[in-house]
Amino acid sequence: MSARVKEAARPAATARPEPGPPRRSVAETVLRVREFSIGGALVLLILATWLVNPSFLDDQGIKDLLLNSSILVLLATGQSVVVLTRNIDLSVGSVVGLTAFACGSFVSGTDRGPVTVILLGIALGTACGLVSGALVSFGRVPALVVTLGMLYVIQGLDHAWAHGEQINATDVPDGVLTLGSGSVLGVPYLPILSALVLAGTAYYLRAYRGGRELYAIGSNPEAARLAGIPIRRRVLSAYAFSGAVAGLAGALWLARFGTVVADAANGWELTVLSAVVVGGIAITGGVGTVWGAALGALLLTTIGSALVVLKVSSFWEQAITGALLLAAISTDRVVRSRSTRALRKRRRQ
């Protein structure tokens, strides 16, 4: 048989299809849907409240909404970085109280400016975060135990320092109070600062190796260790960042309210955690964005403001927050289970 005949007798090679665009994972798809759904729920809530009370969206109403949510957005941003590593920080509320009172005592009766207050707040918050981070990462103490203990330690130090006294707005320099009440083109300073921290954190988590390593640690700590990721150092830096952001929030708390007592931001720990989880960051780590956490903070703040405008009992705010938290955790559980099953199916193929 000639070479040409043999060549013709061979079966034609099956052409391989061109690879299409990578499919999104179940977790990523649901995450995007949740962020869009939170944004949609936020818009619907604002519109419904506005229809009942048009003053909700007047100039002062919008300004109050931005001011009320700015500190919670800040704290949710810092908490998000910790939760992404499969940890938790329950001391953020007490750090806010400590730094707010410390900054108020430092500037009381002086002419010190807002930059000094901000730097002092960040320094104190970072120190608190480093203590918690060192115990969690190097001491290998469970994060829940460490941060809960830090919550009570910081609260005790704050109350011992305050002795029942408070910082009055009349003793705070005008420059510091202007930071909390001033604006640029009608937009208050506080939400601008919160937006800058939020955008910078989101960019770091997306564009830098250190940010991507935080996701890797939360997704699979053992695999991250085998890949050579410095887990202890990353976890320590996450707690330091969370503490620094909480310290900044404490300085802004002083600027916003002027009058500060020792238990400022008491009980905010669960509110911050709820905003983070409702915003799409899995409590088991490795999934979510700080943009979603910010939307969660905006949603919770708007719910509280709407209930006040509608003259509804504050009990319902806690009930709604709890319901949203349970729904978010249940959704995370379902998404993780479906993702695991889908991954196993792909491996078998």
Cα 192 to chain center, whole Å? 16
46-332 CATH fold = ABC transporter involved in vitamin B12 uptake, BtuC (1.10.3470)
CB 286 within 8 A of CB 303: no
Contacts 24+ apart (CB under 8 A), 107-116: 107/172, 107/173, 107/176, 108/167, 108/171, 108/172, 109/171, 110/173, 111/173, 111/175, 112/173, 112/175, 112/176, 113/173, 113/175, 113/176, 114/175, 114/176, 114/178, 114/179, 114/251, 114/255
- The pTM of the full predicted model, rounded to 2 decimals, is 0.83
| pLDDT confidence of residue 20 | 37
Distance CA 141, CA 126 (A): 19
Q: Which of 45, 122, 29, 27 is nearest to 296 (CA)?
A: 45
Q: Please report, in tens digits, the pLDDT of each residue of the chain (349 residues total).
A: 444 444 444 444 444 444 333 444 544 555 556 677 788 888 888 888 888 888 888 888 788 888 889 999 999 999 999 999 999 999 999 999 999 999 999 998 888 889 999 999 999 999 999 999 999 999 999 999 999 999 999 999 888 888 878 888 888 998 899 988 888 888 899 999 999 999 999 999 999 999 999 999 998 889 999 999 999 999 999 999 999 999 999 999 999 998 888 788 888 888 899 899 888 888 888 888 999 999 999 988 888 888 887 777 767 767 777 777 777 777 666 666 665 566 566 666 6
